A and B are shown apart, each in its own frame.
Chain A
Amino acid sequence: MTAPADRRSWFHLAAAIVIGQLCAATAAAAPEGGATVAPEPAATVSFDLVLAAERRRTETIAAAAETAVAIFAGAAGGGSGVLISPDGYALTNFHVVQPAGIAMQCGLNDGQLYDAVLVGLDPTGDLAMIKLLGRTDFPAAKLADSDAVSIGDECFVIGNPFLLATDLQPSVSAGIVSGVHRYQFPAGTILEYADCLQVDAAINPGNSGGGLFDAAGRLIGINGRASFEKRGRINVGVGYAISSNQVRNFLGVLRGGRLADHATLGATVATSFDGRVVVSDILESSDAWRRGLRIDDEVVALAGRPVRSVNAFKNVLGTLPAGWRVPLVYRREGRPTEIVVELAGVHTTAMLADIISGGRGKPAPPGKPGEQPEPRPNPLAQKPEDLPEAIRPLYEPRLGFTNFHFNRVELERVAALIAAGSGRAPDEQAADQPDAGRPAWTFRGRLEQGGSFEIELADQAASISLPTGVSRWEPVAAEAGLAAEAGFDASPPGSGGMLAALTLWRQLLRDGMASSGRMIYWGQQPQVGAAGELVDVLELTSGAGRARFQVAASGTVVAVDFLLSPTAEPCELQFRFAADQSNQRPTAMVVQHAGRRFATFLIEEASP
Chain B
Amino acid sequence: MTCSVPLRPFGLLLLALLAQQGSVFAGEATEPGAYAAQRVVKLYGAGGIRGLESYQTGILVSPAGHIVTALSTALDSEAIDCVLDDGRRYPARLLGADLTRELAVLEIDGENLPCFSLSTTTPRAAVGSRVLALSNLFGVAVGDERVSLQHGVIAACVPLRARRGAHEAAYRGDVYILDCTTNNPGSPGGCLTDWQGRLLGMLGKELRAEPSGVWLSYALPADELARGYEQVLSGKPPVDPGAATAGDYDPRLLGLQLVPDLLDQTPAYVETVLPESAAAAAGLEPDDLLVAVGDRTINSQRALRQELARLLPGDSIRLSLIRAGAIVTVDLGPLPARPEPATAEEPQ
Which residues in A have some Cβ–Cβ distance to B below 8 Å? 4, 7-8, 11-12, 14-15, 17-19, 21-22, 24-25, 27-29, 31-33, 35-37, 39, 42, 49, 150-152, 175-182, 184, 198, 200, 227, 229-231, 235-238, 308-309, 311
Contact = CB atoms under 8 A, between A and B. Distances in A.
Contact of B13 (A39, A179, A235): A39
Given A11-B19, A25-B9, A39-B13, A230 B150 contact: no
Given A14-B16, A182-B145, A231-B215, 4 more contacts: A49-B20, A179-B145, A198-B148, A200-B151
Interface in B191-222: 195, 215
Query: Most chain-B CB neighbours within 10 Å: which of A150, A182, A236?
Result: A236
Q: What are the nearest 4 A-B pairs in CB distance?
A: A15-B16, A237-B181, A152-B33, A29-B5
Contacts of B140: 179, 182, 184, 198, 227, 238
Given A25-B9, A311-B145, A175 B33 contact: no
Contacts of A235: 181
9 contacts: A8-B20, A21-B6, A22-B12, A22-B13, A28-B6, A49-B20, A152-B34, A198-B148, A309-B145
B14 interface: yes
B14 A35 contact: yes
Interface of B: 4-14, 16-17, 19-20, 22, 31-34, 37, 51, 87, 123, 126, 128-130, 132, 137-138, 140-151, 180-182, 184-185, 195, 215
Query: Most chain-A CB neighbours within 10 Å: which of B33, B37, B150?
Result: B150
Contacts of B138: 227, 229, 238
A599 B33 CA distance: 53
A11 B30 CA distance: 12
A152 B145 CA distance: 15
A19 B126 CA distance: 13
Contacts of A22: 6, 9, 12-13
A311 B10 contact: no
B22 A11 contact: yes
A178 B150 contact: yes
Contacts of B87: 308-309
Nearest to B150: A200
Nearest to B16: A15
Contact of B10 (A36, A150, A175): A36
Contacts of A31: 8-11
Given A42-B17, A179-B149, A236-B181, A8 B141 contact: no
A4 B8 CA distance: 29
A267 B128 CA distance: 52
Contacts of A29: 4-6, 9
A179 B135 CA distance: 11
Contacts of B37: 151
A186 to B, nearest CB: 14
Contacts of B14: 35-37
Given A22-B6, A231-B215, A151 B13 contact: no
A513 B199 CA distance: 65
Nearest to A237: B181
B146 A151 contact: yes
B143 A311 contact: yes
Given A152-B32, A178-B150, A21 B126 contact: yes
Query: Most chain-A CB neighbours within 10 Å: which of B13, B34, B37?
Result: B13
Nearest to B19: A11
A27 B5 contact: yes
Given A25-B9, A150-B31, A17 B51 contact: no
Nearest to B28: A1
Contacts of A181: 145
A32 B8 contact: yes
Nearest to A38: B10
A528 B79 CA distance: 50
Query: Most chain-A CB neighbours within 10 Å: which of B10, B31, B149?
Result: B10
Contacts of A35: 8, 10-11, 14
B9 A28 contact: yes
Nearest to B135: A178
A238 to B, nearest CB: 6
Contacts of B149: 151-152, 176-179, 200
B181 A25 contact: no
B274 to A, nearest CB: 40
Nearest to B5: A29
Given A14-B16, A27-B5, A21 B137 contact: no
A172 B315 CA distance: 52
A19 B16 contact: yes
Contacts of A198: 140, 148
A237 B133 CA distance: 11
B12 to A, nearest CB: 6
Nearest to A29: B5
B184 A238 contact: yes
Given A29-B4, A237-B180, A42 B13 contact: yes
B148 A238 contact: yes
Query: Most chain-A CB neighbours within 10 Å: which of B12, B20, B144, B146?
Result: B20
A28 B123 contact: no
Given A39-B10, A152-B33, A236 B5 contact: no
A349 B31 CA distance: 47
A25 B5 contact: yes
A15 B20 contact: yes
Contact of A227 (B126, B137, B195): B137
Contacts of B11: 31-33, 35-36
A24 B5 CA distance: 12
Contacts of A178: 148-150
Contacts of A49: 20
A39 to B, nearest CB: 7
A311 B87 CA distance: 13
Contacts of B20: 8, 11-12, 14-15, 49
A31 to B, nearest CB: 4
Contact of A18 (B34, B123, B130, B182): B130
A476 B58 CA distance: 73
Contact of A17 (B7, B130, B137): B130
Contact of B33 (A19, A42, A151): A151
A15 to B, nearest CB: 4
Nearest to B138: A227
Contacts of B132: 152
B85 to A, nearest CB: 11
Contact of B142 (A18, A237, A311): A311
Contacts of A236: 181, 184
B146 A179 contact: yes
B44 to A, nearest CB: 15
A543 to B, nearest CB: 48
B145 A227 contact: no
A198 B33 CA distance: 15
A21 B144 CA distance: 36
A229 B185 contact: yes
A4 B146 CA distance: 22
A33 B146 CA distance: 33
Query: Most chain-B CB neighbours within 10 Å: which of A24, A200, A237?
Result: A237
B9 A237 contact: no
Contacts of B215: 231
A283 to B, nearest CB: 26
A37 B16 contact: no
A384 B142 CA distance: 48
Query: Most chain-B CB neighbours within 10 Å: which of A27, A28, A177?
Result: A28
Nearest to A200: B150
B93 to A, nearest CB: 22
Query: Most chain-A CB neighbours within 10 Å: which of B7, B8, B51?
Result: B8
Contacts of A182: 140-141, 145
B6 A176 contact: no
B2 to A, nearest CB: 12
Contacts of A311: 142-143, 145
A33 B148 CA distance: 32
Contacts of B51: 230
Given A8-B22, A37-B17, A28 B5 contact: yes
